[in-house]
Amino acid sequence: DGGITQSPKYLFRKEGQNVTLSCEQNLNHDAMYWYRQDPGQGLRLIYYSQIVNDFQKGDIAEGYSVSREKKESFPLTVTSAQKNPTAFYLCASNGQGKDEQFFGPGTRLTVL
C-alpha cells in the first residue's frame, strides 16, 4: 500500500516534554514537508526537506526540530520550547518538479 503514513494518530504530552512525530513515505519522493493545522489558521509550514541530510525552516520553525537521515523518513520533534504545541500536524511529500503535494493522515498532539 503506497503513500504517506504518520504515527501515532493521537499523542498526549505533558508540558516540558519533547515528543517526536513520525512520517514515512514509500512514494520515492525527494521532498518532504511538515505543516501545522489550527482552526481558522489554515496550514502553516514548519520545516521542509528537499534531499536527504538537508532541511530548511518554514514560516513557524521555532520550537521544532527535524532530521532527514533517510529518503523515506522525516520525523518532527516538538520541543518544550514550543509555546503552543497543541495542534494537528500534517506531513506531505512530492517529487522534484511536481507541485502537487501528497498528505499523510495527520497526528493530533495534545499537551496536558
Partner 1 sequence: AQRVTQPEKLLSVFKGAPVELKCNYSYSGSPELFWYVQYSRQRLQLLLRHISRESIKGFTADLNKGETSFHLKKPFAQEEDSAMYYCALSGRLRSGYSTLTFGKGTMLLVSP
Q: Contacting partner 1 (CB under 8 A), which of 14, 15, 96, 112?
A: 96
By CB under 8 A, residue 64 contacts partner 1: no
80 binds partner 1 (CB under 8 A): no
Of residues 33, 34, 55, 74, which one binds partner 1 by CB under 8 A?
A: 33
Q: Considering the rule CB under 8 A, would residue 61 count as an interface residue with partner 1?
A: no
Task: Identify the CA nearest to 24 among candidates 84, 88, 92, 80.
Answer: 92
- Among 27, 43, 52, 61, which residue interacts with partner 1 (rule: CB under 8 A)? 43
> Of 18 and 41, which has the nearer Cβ to partner 1?
41
- For partner 1, the closer of residues 3 and 17 by Cβ is 3
Whole-Å CA distances, 40 to 36, 37, 47? 12, 9, 21
Cα 47 from Cα 57, distance rounded (Å): 5
Kindly tell me the sign of the dihedral angle through the C-alpha atoms of 76, 78, 82, 87.
positive
Q: Is 31 in the site for partner 1 (CB under 8 A)?
A: yes
- φ/ψ region of 50 (left if φ > 0, alpha if ψ in -120 to 50, else beta) reads alpha
What sign does the CA torsion over 36, 82, 70, 2 have?
negative
Site residues, partner 1 (CB under 8 A): 30-31, 33, 35, 40-45, 48, 50, 58, 90, 92, 94, 96-97, 99-101, 103-106
